[in-house]
Amino acid sequence: MALSREQIAMRVAQEFKDGDYVNLGIGIPTLAANYVPKDIAVMLQSENGLLGMGPYPTEAELDADMINAGKETVTSITGACIFNSAESFAMIRGGHVDITVLGAFEVDVSGNIASWMIPGKLVKGMGGAMDLVAGAQNIIVTMTHANKHGESKLLDACTLPLTGVNCITRIITDLAVLKVANGAFHLLERAPGVSVEEIQQKTAGKLIVEGDVPEMQFKN
Amino acid sequence: MALSREQIAMRVAQEFKDGDYVNLGIGIPTLAANYVPKDIAVMLQSENGLLGMGPYPTEAELDADMINAGKETVTSITGACIFNSAESFAMIRGGHVDITVLGAFEVDVSGNIASWMIPGKLVKGMGGAMDLVAGAQNIIVTMTHANKHGESKLLDACTLPLTGVNCITRIITDLAVLKVANGAFHLLERAPGVSVEEIQQKTAGKLIVEGDVPEMQFKN
Amino acid sequence: MAGFNKVVHSYADALAGLSNNMTIIAGGFGLCGIPEGLIAHIREMGVSGLTVVSNNCGVDDFGLGILLQERQIKKMIASYVGENALFEQQLLSGELEVELTPQGTLAEKMRAGGAGIPAFYTATGYGTPVGEGKEVREFNGRPYIMEESITGDFAIVKAWKADTFGNCVYRHTAQNFNPMAATAGKITVVEAEEIVAPGSLNPAHIHTPGIYVNRVIQGTFEKRIERKVTRSKEN
Amino acid sequence: MAGFNKVVHSYADALAGLSNNMTIIAGGFGLCGIPEGLIAHIREMGVSGLTVVSNNCGVDDFGLGILLQERQIKKMIASYVGENALFEQQLLSGELEVELTPQGTLAEKMRAGGAGIPAFYTATGYGTPVGEGKEVREFNGRPYIMEESITGDFAIVKAWKADTFGNCVYRHTAQNFNPMAATAGKITVVEAEEIVAPGSLNPAHIHTPGIYVNRVIQGTFEKRIERKVTRSKEN
């Protein structure tokens, strides 16, 4: 069965290693913070200028001057630091953030990603996404495998304006975990109960399936 | 009579305007801080990373972590700020420092300056001088008019490796105050008792003398 | 002598010289750390044809959004339209010229503008619409695009505390774009929650050295929250 | 789990991995704010063929000068030779390769290296020997030269206080080049006067965020003064 948003987030969190600096985009990526394995520590970077982002505030802690990159009110953890946005993107662009997780409209077999506009229809703007995909060491895309019309979002070539080229290394969808390499998607894991055939059917771009593809494990 | 170092510094200080941010080089320029007219305030920038440099410390105030760009121990004034060297040169390069005063081996009628090396003989390095002459709004050179062999340091074209091109606007020597414009030195003031003829004789580069040239006034 | 006292006592004095078709660089991220009073006074002044450089354009009825309402902005240079419906509508209709710029590139363009660096190279935006028409150059085998810096006729900045010399500190994440904006204005105006005496701020804690600041005004702030999200105490 | 605790307990651990012919970026200005113990240990390690990037090269018998004494440095990238006789002598004899770099350009090259900016333009050095062989480009009618960024295999940094996560604050003008150096090392090692617990430093006062720092070691410092100048009390 296709994963819920929370389950995708749980699977994302298993990609984290102890000591990772992590930037989480708006939506499902943000949820991953709730599922960090208990035996490791990660530190969250918020690109407006906060390293060491904490949970949402209680009513008593609420502070208009303390927000994250999604403009939500947040807190900071012990040992956090706060800085300006040029410094924040120096960190990002300079490759000091270990993992970036973000959503997308489309990805393709070349590791390209489109996430910031649909011509004539929707212009959200790229925000920090173009910098993040150009700078982070390890970029994970989370999204549903297909759109609501059942059309695949994993393509041979993106059709929408790009956010970055040749940068996506891993994709975690409601159906599968995939690696992007050598001009193809490589199927690594299936969602529990989802068949390889279903994944093949919903993956428009070149997909390589080798051997038995295991089901995802949720070890939290 | 030719001015003493202190008198050159006194004349330099008369160039300052109320509210000026000023960077003073090593040597005579540094002395100018002692002669700021009493009816104005200037703030001294030291390019290692201090805005609001104060006087030398007393023995009791001495602190190894508090030095100026000449590596001398200093203090800071009330309202100072301290920052890193990239920030310091952002200020300088970005044109936020109003006046820079520095020494030179040679200057020429194109506003070029040479101050950092004598090939095969002496290499001090440029330190911050190249950034200062490229960035400040108003650049004053202080030096003796001639070297110890009696040779002019005000030339048609510098012979030594340059520190900057087309940047010097004013020269204050032991003999005169001069402006650099339109490919010539323009004599503005004479040191008390120094004749126009002596200045002409000791100025190798094209010198323009118009009308009566007044003697310097020391109004401190 | 006035010395280094930069305090002005009216918004009119704070924005004296601002006129039609000028470029304004504004600090703030969303509604966080925005110079509310200065923005309100720009609306009152009625200047138009403005180019505004800011990460966002406020919301429909607050922050820079109020200048969109009045059609005072000719061109926005921003990274994010987001949920500002008026912004998106004026963009899609072509009424508003928009130069969408990646957030990090925007921050760096402001910094570079203030730092006397006319252009720099970044990998951000290479191969995307942002890179179109820009010079591409390889360094160590990777392609980068050249981005030019930005300066403004005015910069408007929101500080937590400013001393009378213009030294500023920002509070929490209200820092955001404010320090870079402060460096990039021909005239930089700081609206502060509190104006303090020189010496009140620790020299090592100052985020914006006063050399960048021309005018300081005491503001009052609503500090509207764009997305209030809380957790219950037990969590 | 180790988490974010970056404290090491020996200089050997602090500099593990440093080997011949590597590039080291060092904080400090003159003898102010230099990682004394790390420099001393580099001498002890005996590594050679080093490229060292630092504004100065210490004095004859202290700071980075001790690595010149031992002929461990193949190339210096610095802005100032000044009064270091050994430096000047090795430079003039051609024994030491030296890339004299304007101080502001050097600071910016380190910052750019850490910030993922491979090159930038500056007016500094245009028309001088520094500009020779570099690309010249006009922006708004003024010529600028292109300068490439610098990164190092190691960066060695001297902090006043560092927390165990690697967040650093510097004291007074001992800040100087340290924050930029910290960003530009593949491995960045901080030698601190004092190591404190996370939370001891105010998040808004941190000069170097811990994300740049790989190792933190407790140092001991002589803090030699290069030019002691004092005034009498009366003045």
pLDDT band at B1; cut points 50, 70, 90: confident
- Which residues in chain C are contacts of A63 at CB distance < 8 A? 172
pLDDT band at C213; cut points 50, 70, 90: very high
Average pLDDT over residues C35-58: 97
By Cβ distance, the residue of C115, C201, C203 closest to B94 is: C115
The residue type of A205 is G
Residue D170: predicted pLDDT = 98
Residue D234: predicted pLDDT = 60
pLDDT at B136 > cutoff 90: no
By Cβ distance, the residue of C2, C113, C203 closest to B19 is: C2
Starting at the edge strand that comes first in sequence, how are the strands of the sheet with A184-190 ordered?
Answer: A76-82, A50-53, A42-46, A20-24, A99-103, A138-143, A170-173, A176-181, A184-190, A207-208
Q: Give whole-number Cα distances, C211 to A182, B50, B191, C152, C181, in Å.
A: 52, 11, 34, 16, 13
pLDDT at D209 > cutoff 60: yes
Cβ distance A46 to C173 less than 8 Å, yes or no, reads: yes
By Cβ distance, the residue of A70, A131, A165 closest to C103 is: A131
HSE toward the beta carbon, residue C95, CA cutoff 13 A: 12
Of all residues in chain D, what percent carry a pLDDT higher than 70?
A: 99
Q: What span, in angstroms and rounded, lies between the C-alpha atoms of A18 and A40? A: 5
Average pLDDT over residues D119-147: 98
Q: Which CATH code, of 3.40.1080.10, 3.40.50.170, 3.30.2020.30, 3.40.50.300, is assigned to B5-208? A: 3.40.1080.10
- Which residues in chain D are contacts of A95 at CB distance < 8 A? 116
Cβ distance D1 to A18 less than 8 Å, yes or no, reads: yes
By Cβ distance, the residue of C29, C229, C235 closest to A73 is: C229
Reference A168, options A153, A178, A156; nearest CA is A178
Indicate the pairing of strand A122-123 with strand A117-118.
Answer: antiparallel
What tens digit of pLDDT does each residue of D49-73 get? 999 999 999 999 999 999 999 999 9
The residue type of D207 is H
Q: What span, in angstroms and rounded, lies between the C-alpha atoms of C140 and C126? A: 15
* Bigger pLDDT: C233 vs D148: D148
Cβ distance B94 to C204 less than 8 Å, yes or no, reads: no
Cβ distance A55 to C31 less than 8 Å, yes or no, reads: no
Residue D21: predicted pLDDT = 98
By Cβ distance, the residue of C144, C148, C204 closest to D118 is: C144
What tens digit of pLDDT does each residue of B41-60 get? 999 999 999 999 999 999 99
Cβ distance D107 to B89 less than 8 Å, yes or no, reads: yes
Reference A21, options A41, A48, A1, A49; nearest CA is A41
Residue A66: predicted pLDDT = 98
Residue A70: predicted pLDDT = 94
Residue B52: predicted pLDDT = 98
HSE toward the beta carbon, residue A94, CA cutoff 13 A: 27
Q: Are B89 and C207 in contact (CB under 8 A)?
A: no
pLDDT at B219 > cutoff 80: no
Residue C30: predicted pLDDT = 95
Indicate the pairing of strand C185-196 with strand A154-155.
Answer: unpaired
Q: Are B43 and B22 in contact (CB under 8 A)?
A: yes
Indicate the pairing of strand D23-26 with strand D152-163.
Answer: parallel
End-to-end CA distance of chain B: 19
Cβ distance D172 to B63 less than 8 Å, yes or no, reads: yes
Out of B91-105, B183-197, C82-96, least confident range: C82-96
Residue A123: predicted pLDDT = 81
Q: What span, in angstroms and rounded, lies between the C-alpha atoms of D117 and C113? A: 15
Residue C88: predicted pLDDT = 87
Q: Do chains A and B touch (3 or more CB pairs under 8 A)?
A: no
Q: Is B47 a catalytic residue?
A: yes
User: Average model confidence (pLDDT) for chain B?
Assistant: 96
Q: Which residues contact D153 (CB under 8 A, 6 or more apart)?
A: D18, D22, D23, D24, D185, D186, D187
What tens digit of pLDDT does each residue of D111-124 get? 999 999 999 999 99
What tens digit of pLDDT does each residue of A118-147 get? 988 878 899 999 999 999 889 999 999 999
CATH number of the domain at C11-122+149-218, please?
3.40.1080.10
Cα B67 vs. chain centroid, distance in angstroms?
20
pLDDT at D16 > cutoff 70: yes
| Domain parsing of chain C, residue ranges | 11-122+149-218
Cβ distance A91 to D4 less than 8 Å, yes or no, reads: no
C partners (3+ CB pairs within 8 A) are: A, B, D
Kindly identify which residue of chain D lies nearest to residue B163, measuring between CA atoms: D128
Residue A31: predicted pLDDT = 94
pLDDT band at C84; cut points 50, 70, 90: confident
Residue A1: predicted pLDDT = 85
Residue C81: predicted pLDDT = 86
- Cβ-in-10-Å burial (0-12, 13-18, 19+) of D186 comes to middle
Average pLDDT over residues C112-124: 98
What tens digit of pLDDT does each residue of C133-175 get? 999 999 999 999 999 999 999 999 999 999 999 999 999 999 9
Query: Phi first, then psi: what are they for C106, rounded to 5°?
Result: -65, -45
CB atoms within 10 A of CB B39: 7
Q: Write the DSSP assignment of B174-185 as a string of letters.
A: SSEEEEEETTEE
Kindly identify which residue of chain C lies nearest to residue B21, measuring between CA atoms: C211
pLDDT at C16 > cutoff 60: yes
pLDDT at D235 > cutoff 80: no
What tens digit of pLDDT does each residue of D154-207 get? 999 999 999 999 999 999 999 999 999 999 999 999 999 999 999 999 999 999
Query: Phi first, then psi: what are they for B151, rounded to 5°?
Result: -85, 135
Which positions of chain A have pLDDT values less than 50? none
What tens digit of pLDDT does each residue of C25-36 get? 999 999 999 999
pLDDT at C9 > cutoff 80: yes
Q: Are D159 and D168 in contact (CB under 8 A)?
A: yes
pLDDT at D23 > cutoff 80: yes
Residue A99: predicted pLDDT = 97
Q: The whole model's pTM is what? A: 0.97
Cβ distance B85 to D55 less than 8 Å, yes or no, reads: yes
Q: What span, in angstroms and rounded, lies between the C-alpha atoms of B23 and D79? A: 18
Q: Are D160 and D219 in contact (CB under 8 A)?
A: no
pLDDT at C234 > cutoff 80: no
Q: For an interface test with A, give the residue of C124, C136, C168 to mutate (most A CBs within 10 A).
A: C124
- Which residues in chain B are contacts of C209 at CB distance < 8 A? 51, 81, 83, 87, 91
CB atoms within 10 A of CB C230: 16
| Domain parsing of chain B, residue ranges | 5-208
Q: What span, in angstroms and rounded, lies between the C-alpha atoms of A15 and D173? A: 42
Q: C146 and chain B: CB distance < 8 Å anywhere?
A: no
pLDDT at C1 > cutoff 70: no
pLDDT at B123 > cutoff 90: no
